[in-house]
Amino acid sequence: MWLFLYLINLLFAFLAAGPFSDLLESELANSKVIQHIFGGFDYTVFMEFYQQNSGAIWAFLGQAIILVFVFFVFNIFFSGGIINTFYKNKEHFILRNFWYDCSQFFWRFLRLTFYFLMFHAVLLAIFGVLFYTIIEGGSNANLVSEVTIISGAKIIFPIYAIFAIILSMIQDYAKIHIVSGDKKMLTKPILEIFKLTIKNFVKTASLYLLNILTILIIFGIYRLLQTPFTSDNMTGIFILFLVGQLFLFCRIGVKLLNLGSATWMYKYIANQPIVEVDQGFEEV
């Protein structure tokens, strides 16, 4: 499942990045200016490239945005399969069962995602208005110093981040709760999981924090591994590519770890048995 999710991610990113690469090759590969961008960023080359190809670049960007959206929907689709796999605590990953779970929960998770996007939007709007009020619109006619904007951001942004993280955490538990009870309606489960998560906030938040810490450590390791290499030769480019892919693979792994550990925590706080008998399809 881990490898499968990584390959899907790679495929979509490849489809999004491919046209840009082709354009770069067709426009620059026969010019000596290509050497200017080998060592690092070159403003003149990139801006001229943009100037000459802005139409194509924007078209490709539009296409990339569509791909990101499709990937987003795919991930909603996969969520049911992933969570049920963890929830049922299956020893072996069976692709057929996975697809069944994906399709079974897709529409519910789509609605759930929509609801939580709205919650996120409301949260963002609340903190946005709060920030706007604190910095008086950022207008230089009202503020004595722009330092107020920085101080405001230093206060507001971390608080917002905490609330947004909590909301994301609740969303994860909501998905597990829906899978757990195979609930068709969403409003009640959402309210229930709000209560359950808040009631066990120290436990759930600590686990979530631990997972965030894990991804930060992985990011740190990635940066360390990246440092000794430069991308001014083919070997360097290849090594950096591999390091990057390793990071992505781990990132996806941590996401799975998060869902897996949250499923375990859910069972723990909901007083459910940690190990359940697999009631899905039998292995063929």
Partner 1 sequence: MKQKTNWSVLIFCFLVFNTFAQKGWFEQPLSPRTANYDMQITLDPETKMIHGKTTLTWKNPSNDTVPDLHFHLYYNAFKNTESTFFKNSNRISRRPTDEECTWGWNEMSNIKNDNGQNLSSKYIQPDNDHEADQTVLSVQLAEPVLPNESVTVTFDFTVKIPKIMVRSGYSRDYFFLAQWYPKLGVYETEEMGRTKASGWNCHQYHSNTEYYGEFGNYDVHITVPGDYKVGASGSLQKTTENGKMTTHSFHLEDVIDYTWTASPDYLVYEDKWRNVDLKVMTFPGHECFVERYFDAAKNSFDYFAEHLGEYPYHSLTMVDVPYHGLFTGAMEYPTLISVLNLRILPEGVLLSETFAVHELTHQFFQQILATNEQEEPWMDEGFTTYWEGRIMDEYYGAQSSAFSVLGIGAGNVEYNRIEYLNMRNPKMVPTSATGFDNGVNGYRTITYNKTAIWLKTLEGLVGEATMSEIWKTYYQKWKFKHPYGHDFINVVNEVVGEDMGWFFDQVHFGTEMCDYELFSFSSNEILPKAGVFGADCLTGNEEDNKNNEPLYKSQVVIYRNGEVKLPVEILVHFEDGTEILEKWDGKDRIHYLNYAKSSKIDWAEVDPQRKIHLDQNFTNNSLVKESETTPVKKYFSKLLFWFQNVMQAVTMLV
Q: Which residues bind partner 1 (CB under 8 A)?
A: 9-10, 12-14, 16-18, 20-21, 24-25, 27-35, 37-38, 40-45, 47-49, 51-52, 64, 68, 71-72, 75-76, 79, 109, 113, 116-117, 120, 140-147, 149-150, 168, 231, 233-234, 237, 240-241, 244-245, 248, 251-252, 255
From residue 110, alpha-carbon distances to 107, 119, 186, 226 in Å are 5, 14, 11, 37
**Least distance from C-beta 171 to partner 1, angstroms?**
8
Reduced DSSP (H G I as helix, E B as strand, rest coil) percent helix, strand, coil of the chain, to 5? 80, 0, 20
> Does residue 39 come out as left (phi exceeding 0), alpha (psi in the -120 to 50 range) or beta?
alpha
Q: Are 254 and 214 in contact (CB under 8 A)?
A: yes
Residue 175 contacts residue 112 (beta carbons within 8 Å): yes
Closer to partner 1 by Cβ: residue 89 or 230: 230
Q: Residue 155 CB, nearest distance to partner 1 (Å)?
A: 15
Exposure string for 85-102, b = 16+ CB within 10 A, e = fewer = bbbbbbeeebeebbebbb
Cβ-based nearer residue to partner 1, 89 or 231: 231
Joined together, the tokens standing for residue 156 give 């507001």
Min separation Cβ 189 and partner 1, Å: 17
> Are the C-beta atoms of residues 100 and 281 closer than 8 Å to each other?
yes
Q: With respect to partner 1, which residue has the nearer C-beta, 248 or 269?
A: 248
Given the complex with partner 1, which of 73 and 95 has the nearer CB atom? 73
Nearer to partner 1 by Cβ, of 181 and 244: the residue is: 244
Least distance in Å: CB of 80 to partner 1? 11
